[in-house]
Amino acid sequence: MKEANTMLLEFESRSQNESFARTVIAAFAASLDPTIEELADIKTAVSEAVTNCIIHGYADNIGIIAMRCSICGNELTVEIEDKGVGIENVEKAMEPLYTSRPELERSGMGFSFMEAFMDDLEVESEPGRGTLVRMKKRLGKPDPLKEYAKETALKGQ
C-alpha cells in the first residue's frame, strides 16, 4: 500500500511546545512504522528546528511556528518555518559549532544534528522575513548491519 498523508501544524513559539511538536511528528510518522531509532532521529531533528525558531527566529517574542509534514511512500518530509528574524548567512550558520547565542549555552550543533539524523536538509532564509527548514527521511531503509549479516550468510552456503 502506497502511504500518503499530509498535515499542517501551527503553534506558538513557547518552549513547552518543543515536546508538543515532537509528539505530533511521532504520531504522524507512526503509520510508517518507524523503528525506535528512526523515530528518535526524526524527533531530534524536529526538536532542533523548532527550538531554533523559538530561540533565534523569535528570540523573546511569541510568534507562530508552522510545521508541514507529508508522507509519500516510505518518505517523510517535514518543513518547519518561522516568520522571525531570518538568517543573514545561511552557509555560515550551518557550519558545525557555529552559534550566535553562546550565552544561552547553545552548542551550535543544531543544523549538524538535523543533517546527521535526516537524509536531506534544505534551509531557506531571508533576513527580516523568516526561516524555512525542509528535511526528508526515507524510512525502512535496509539496516546496513543486517544487510551485511545476510551477505555473509549467503556466502556460507
Partner 1 sequence: MQNSKNHGRNNNTAGEEDTVYEISQRCLIIRLGKELDHHNAIGIREKADKYIERYHVMHIIFDFSRAEFMDSAGIGVVLGRYRKVYFIGGRIAVASVGTVIDRVLRLSGLYKIVEKYDSVEIALNKLQKA
State whether residue 12 is helix, strand or coil: strand
Measured in whole angstroms, the distance separating CA 155 from the mean position of its chain's CA atoms is 39
Give the residue, chosen from 52, 78, 137, 139, that forms a contact with ligand ADP under the rule CB under 6 A: 52
Of 113, 132, 106, which Cα lies nearest the Cα of 45? 113
State whether residue 1 is helix, strand or coil: coil
Give the residue, chosen from 12, 33, 120, 122, that forms a contact with partner 1 under the rule CB under 8 A: 33
Q: Which of 74, 75, 106, 124 is catalytic?
A: 106
C-alpha to C-alpha distances, 157 to 134, 143, 150, nearest whole angstrom = 45, 22, 11
We find the least distance from the C-beta atom of residue 25 to ligand ADP, in angstroms, to be 17
Rank residues 129 and 141 by Cβ distance to partner 1 and give the closer one. 141
Residues that bind a copy of itself (CB under 8 A): 5-12, 14, 16-17, 19-20, 23-24, 27-28, 30-31
**Residue 48 lies near partner 1 (rule: CB under 8 A):** yes
Nearby residues of 7 by Cβ (< 8 Å), 6 or more positions away: 28, 68, 69, 70
The distance in angstroms from the start CA to the end CA of the chain is: 34
Tell me 88's DSSP state.
S
**Residue 53 lies near ligand ADP (rule: CB under 6 A):** yes
> What residue ranges bind partner 1 (CB under 8 A)?
15-16, 18-19, 22, 26-27, 30-31, 33-37, 39-40, 43-44, 47-48, 51, 54-55, 104-107, 109-110, 112-113, 116, 143
Residues of the shown chain interacting with ligand ADP in the complex, contacts defined by CB under 6 A = 48, 52-53, 56-57, 82, 84-87, 93, 98-101, 106-111, 131
Known catalytic residues?
Answer: 48, 52, 106
